């Protein structure tokens, strides 16, 4: 079983601040961590490998310092780390990121299963996983809360829904994005940390993956961030009580007062 | 303070710290309340390779010394002494094999211990043999190719949960302590069963249980070391293990200090955070001095033991007494700093105070440790 886990280095959410002048994320002095959802994707991949054998590769697109999360992933059980890094990738939106990861994945060979976190805690878009699957033309399921059964040619999973879950069976190769309920990630082991320290991280540039320069980075990104700002604090909240009729009457009265 | 750890030692500390923060602290109150053995946490500890610290490299371990064990245990105890005790008891249980076992016995047991797939326990204490270990009454008689063990062990940590037990029994009752030998008894051996499970004041997540040996038959090759050398091996085992108990005191006291300082900064009385009052400040300062002094002594003793394995009793006993008496004092003071809140189960310090008490009692009471130190002084000055 060849497994690929897509991970992202993100600022530690406990520490996020906006630069008041530029209105961009202040990254100076802010710790970087592996996106928390991606830790669960990695744990699931490692657990599947422990069950069926095979190899877990982790990939990240990012600046050179993103190598740290790849080493962390190796310490937590991954077999190899691949850093997709090039100045030309800078400023990529989810469209260009999915394009880049798809080319990188293809450059690495064929995978049976690709796992991603549901979303990254910095952008919160949840688009890269599905985007990557579409680029690779493989089936995908988002918000997976449990792997029910996995074999060499198919996987059956539970997709979390608001009011329960769907059971989805899909042929491999496929892509899953996972939620935190799926597992409890392990603590990096001593042997894993020693392996991570010595591991060689493979680097792939835009040229290495054969990407079209017009489709990557800022140039290849149809969405552009115009402005980032801290939202103003919300106004007062009101709770209406009583039966539905009474609550609607209270709401209408309240809205009229504000017109 | 900076203790200038090696990269490898720092890796051990970081790993144990992650286990404590992610796996132990979120569930410790529930484990304490339910008297529940931390099986899943021990499995997490195993996956993180911490059980391999005290196993030599040739048997699949990291070949760490007393110092490395102490560093890991301190961090685990910062989370919960009950969990840390369960971990420590596996080390204690296998030390006799490490110290006196044959190569075959080491090959048979140590790789599983290092991987954390099997846990160990140490069976010395009996109803009439506590501080006076020579009072044991369990016997072992050779019958053909088998040893037949009879007796009851009491208050055995990891009892009923471990798979490998080192049992001290008399092979020659007429010689007293010199007639004692050590045997490996495995879970499932015929005639071996578990008795009463204890309901304790503290370290409630650890399992403390009776072991019952009733015509328990085990193969001849389960004797550890030579016949009649059991008591010497027990003394050596406890010399190596006591700094581990001392480090539980350090981790626990550090946790209590952390809680007390955080609370003192938040709690406002008479218009000020209570840390602004000198009466509270001085208590916190004394706690911090004691914790750091204890830590320095434990680390120094552990390094001494690693460097001088034949001359370790005094250092081992000194650090055990100081660190565990200190932990009792510091956890009691932490409850005092938190006042009424400290006495309530909503805050973790009441559990810390309950957990601290056993450290002064088990693996040799602090009174027995003072005896050891006194006897060593007597020898040194003769």
pLDDT tens digit sequence for A208-243: 999 999 999 999 999 887 877 777 777 788 888 889
DSSP state of B173: G
B55, B124, B230, B272 from B180: Cα distances, Å: 25, 11, 5, 62
Instruction: Encode pLDDT of A5-17 as tens digits.
Output: 999 999 887 767 7
pLDDT band at A27; cut points 50, 70, 90: low
Domain coverage including residue A72: 2-224
Q: How many residues does chain B have?
A: 382
Across the interface, do B19 and A190 touch by the CB < 8 Å criterion?
Answer: no
Residue from B9, B26, B48, B69 whose CB has the most chain A CBs within 10 Å, to mutate: B48
Q: How far apart are CA A41 and CA A5, in angstroms?
A: 7
Cα B288 to Cα B283: distance, rounded to the nearest angstrom: 9
Q: Does B42 lie at the interface with A, CB-CB under 8 angstroms?
A: no
Q: Which fold has domain B121-228?
A: Butyryl-CoA Dehydrogenase, subunit A; domain 2 (2.40.110)
Q: What is the CATH number of the domain that holds A87?
A: 3.40.50.620
The yes-or-no verdict on residue A190 having pLDDT over 70 is yes
Write out the two tokens for B114.
């290092």
Domain presence at residue A238: no
Taking alpha carbons only, the member of A12, A9, A10 closest to residue A59 is A9
The CATH number that domain B7-119 falls under is 1.10.540.10
Residue A198 touches chain B, beta carbons under 8 Å: no
Residues belonging to chain A: 259
pLDDT digit string (tens) for B195-230?
999 999 999 999 999 999 999 999 999 999 999 999
Model confidence pLDDT, tens digit, residues B114-160: 999 999 999 999 999 988 888 899 999 999 999 999 999 999 999 99
Strand order from edge to edge, sheet including A80-84 = A164-171, A154-161, A140-150, A174-178, A113-117, A2-6, A55-61, A80-84, A202-204
Q: Tell me the CB-side half-sphere exposure of residue B64, using CA atoms within 13 A.
A: 26
The 10s digit of each residue's pLDDT in A40-61 is 999 999 999 999 999 999 999 9
- Is it the case that residue A18 has pLDDT exceeding 90? no
Radius of gyration of chain B (CA): 21
Q: Which helix H or strand E contains B75, and what residues bound it?
A: helix B66-79
A89, A61 Cβ separation under 8 angstroms: yes
Contact A114, A4 (CB under 8 A): yes
Q: Give the closest-approach CA distance of A218 to chain B in angstroms.
A: 38
Does the beta carbon of A238 lie under 8 angstroms from any beta carbon of chain B? no
- Look at residue A76 in the predicted model and tell me its pLDDT: 95
Residue for token pair 């496929």: A174
Nearest to B42 by CA among B10, B92, B78, B89: B89
- Closest-CA residue of B relative to A189 is B48
| Chain A positions in Cβ-Cβ contact with residue B11 (cut-off 8 Å) | 190, 193-194
**Closest Cα in chain A, distance from residue B17 (Å):** 10
B48 shares contact with chain A (CB less than 8 Å): yes
In a domain, residue A252? The reply is: no
Of B12, B47, B53, which is closest to A186 when you measure between CB atoms?
Answer: B47
Q: Does the distance separating the beta carbons of A194 and B48 come in below 8 Å? A: no
Q: Does A189 touch chain B (CB under 8 A)?
A: yes
Q: How far does the CA of residue B338 sit from the closest CA of chain A (Å)?
A: 27
Q: Do B44 and A194 touch (CB under 8 A)?
A: no
- Across chain B, mean pLDDT equals 96
Tell me the pLDDT tens digit for each residue of B273-290.
999 999 999 999 999 999
Indicate if B363 belongs to the active site: yes
- Considering only CB atoms, which chain A residues are within 8 Å of B44? 186-187
Task: Report yes or no on A257 lying in a domain.
Answer: no
Catalytic-labelled residue, pool B40, B198, B363, B380: B363
For domain B231-380, give the fold. Answer: Butyryl-CoA Dehydrogenase, subunit A; domain 3 (1.20.140)
Is the CB of A180 inside 8 Å of chain B's CB atoms? no
pLDDT bracket for residue A23 (50, 70, 90):
low
Distance from the B37 Cα atom to the nearest Cα atom in chain A, whole angstroms: 19
Nearest to B157 by CA among B204, B113, B114: B204
> Does residue B265 surpass a pLDDT of 80?
yes
The mean pLDDT of B345-353, rounded to a whole number, is 97
B169-203 residue pLDDT tens: 999 999 988 999 999 999 999 999 999 999 999 99
How many percent of chain A have pLDDT more than 90? 77
Are B184 and B175 within 8 A, CB to CB?
no
Element of type H or E holding B197: strand B192-197
Number of domains in chain A: 1
- Structural domain boundaries of chain B? 7-119, 121-228, 231-380
Contact B115/B45 with Cβ under 8 angstroms? no
- Considering only CA atoms, which of A258, A246, A216, A226 is closest in space to residue A99? A216
Examine residue A245 and state whether it is found in any structural domain, yes or no.
no
pLDDT tens-digit map of A81-133? 999 999 999 988 999 999 999 999 999 999 999 999 999 988 889 999 999 99
Residue A41 lies in a domain: yes
Q: Considering the entire predicted model, what is its pTM? A: 0.88
Residue A24 pLDDT class (50, 70, 90 cuts): low
- The answer to the question of residue A46 being in a domain is yes
Test A187 with B11 for CB contact under 8 angstroms: no
Shortest distance, CA B295 to any CA of chain A (angstroms)? 24
Beta pairing partners, A154: A171
Kindly state the percentage of chain A with pLDDT values over 70.
Answer: 98
pLDDT in tens, B94-107: 999 999 999 999 99
Share of chain B above pLDDT 90, in %: 96
B315 in Cβ contact with B80 (< 8 Å): no
Per-residue pLDDT of A137-157, as tens digits, reads 999 999 999 999 999 999 999
Q: Cβ separation of B15 and A191 shorter than 8 Å? A: no
Question: What's the pLDDT at A31?
Answer: 85
């Amino acid at each position: 079983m060849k497994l690929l886990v897509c991970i992202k280095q993100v600022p530690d959410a406990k520490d996020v601040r906006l630069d008041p002048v530029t209105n961009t994320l202040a990254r100076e002095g802010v710790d970087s961590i592996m996106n928390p959802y991606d830790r669960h994707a990695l744990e699931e991949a490692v657990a599947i490998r422990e069950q069926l054998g095979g190899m877990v590769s982790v990939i990240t697109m990012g600046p050179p310092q993103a190598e740290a999360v790849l080493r962390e992933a190796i310490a937590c059980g991954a077999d190899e780390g691949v850093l997709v890094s090039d100045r030309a990738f800078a400023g990529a939106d989810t469209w260009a990121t999915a394009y880049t990861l798809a080319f990188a994945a293809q450059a690495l060979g064929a995978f049976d299963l690709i796992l991603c976190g549901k979303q990254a805690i910095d952008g919160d878009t949840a688009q890269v996983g599905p985007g990557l699957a579409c680029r690779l033309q493989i089936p995908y399921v988002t918000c997976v809360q449990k792997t029910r059964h996995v074999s060499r040619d198919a996987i059956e999973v539970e997709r979390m829904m608001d009011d329960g879950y769907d059971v989805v069976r899909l042929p491999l190769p496929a892509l899953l994005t996972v939620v935190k309920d799926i597992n409890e990630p392990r603590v990096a082991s001593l042997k894993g940390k020693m392996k991570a320290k010595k591991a060689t991280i493979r680097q792939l540039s835009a040229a290495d993956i054969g990407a079209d320069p017009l489709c990557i980075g800022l140039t290849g990104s149809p969405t552009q961030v115009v402005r980032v700002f801290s939202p103003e604090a919300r106004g007062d909240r009101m709770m209406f009580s009583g039966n539905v009729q009474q609550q609607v009457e209270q709401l209408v009265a309240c809205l009229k007062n504000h017109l | 303070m900076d203790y200038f750890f090696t990269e490898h030692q720092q890796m051990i500390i970081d790993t144990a710290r992650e286990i404590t923060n992610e796996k132990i602290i979120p569930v410790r109150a529930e484990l304490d309340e339910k008297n529940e053995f931390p099986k899943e946490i021990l499995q997490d500890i195993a996956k993180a390779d911490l059980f391999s610290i005290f196993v030599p490299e040739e048997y699949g371990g990291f070949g760490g010394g007393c110092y490395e064990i102490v560093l890991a245990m301190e961090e685990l105890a910062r989370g919960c002494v009950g969990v840390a005790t369960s971990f420590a008891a596996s080390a204690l249980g296998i030390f006799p094999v490490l110290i006196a076992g044959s190569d075959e016995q080491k090959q048979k047991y140590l790789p599983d211990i290092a991987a954390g797939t099997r846990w160990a326990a140490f069976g010395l204490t009996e109803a009439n043999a506590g501080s006076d270990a020579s009072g044991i009454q369990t016997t072992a008689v050779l019958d053909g190719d088998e040893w037949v063990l009879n007796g009851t062990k009491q208050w055995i940590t990891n009892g009923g949960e471990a798979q490998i037990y080192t049992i001290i029994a008399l092979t020659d009752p007429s010689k007293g302590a010199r007639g004692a030998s050590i045997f490996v008894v495995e879970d499932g051996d015929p005639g071996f069963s578990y008795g009463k499970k204890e309901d304790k004041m503290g370290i409630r997540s650890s399992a403390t249980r009776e072991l019952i040996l009733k015509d328990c038959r085990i193969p001849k090759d389960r004797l550890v070391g030579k016949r009649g050398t059991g008591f010497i091996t027990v003394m050596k085992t406890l010399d190596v293990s006591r700094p581990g108990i001392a480090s539980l005191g350090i981790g626990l006291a550090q946790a209590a200090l952390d809680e007390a300082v955080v609370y003192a900064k938040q709690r406002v009385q008479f218009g000020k955070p209570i840390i602004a009052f000198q009466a509270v400040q001085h208590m916190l300062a004394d706690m911090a001095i004691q914790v750091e002094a204890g830590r320095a002594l434990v680390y120094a003793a552990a390094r001494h033991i690693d460097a001088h394995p034949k001359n370790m009793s005094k250092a081992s006993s000194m650090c055990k007494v100081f660190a565990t008496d200190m932990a009792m004092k510091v956890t009691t003071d932490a409850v005092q700093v938190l006042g009424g809140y400290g006495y309530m189960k909503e805050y973790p310090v009441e559990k810390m105070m309950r957990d601290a008490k056993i450290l002064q009692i088990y693996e040799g009471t602090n009174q027995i440790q003072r005896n050891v130190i006194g006897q060593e002084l007597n020898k040194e000055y003769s």
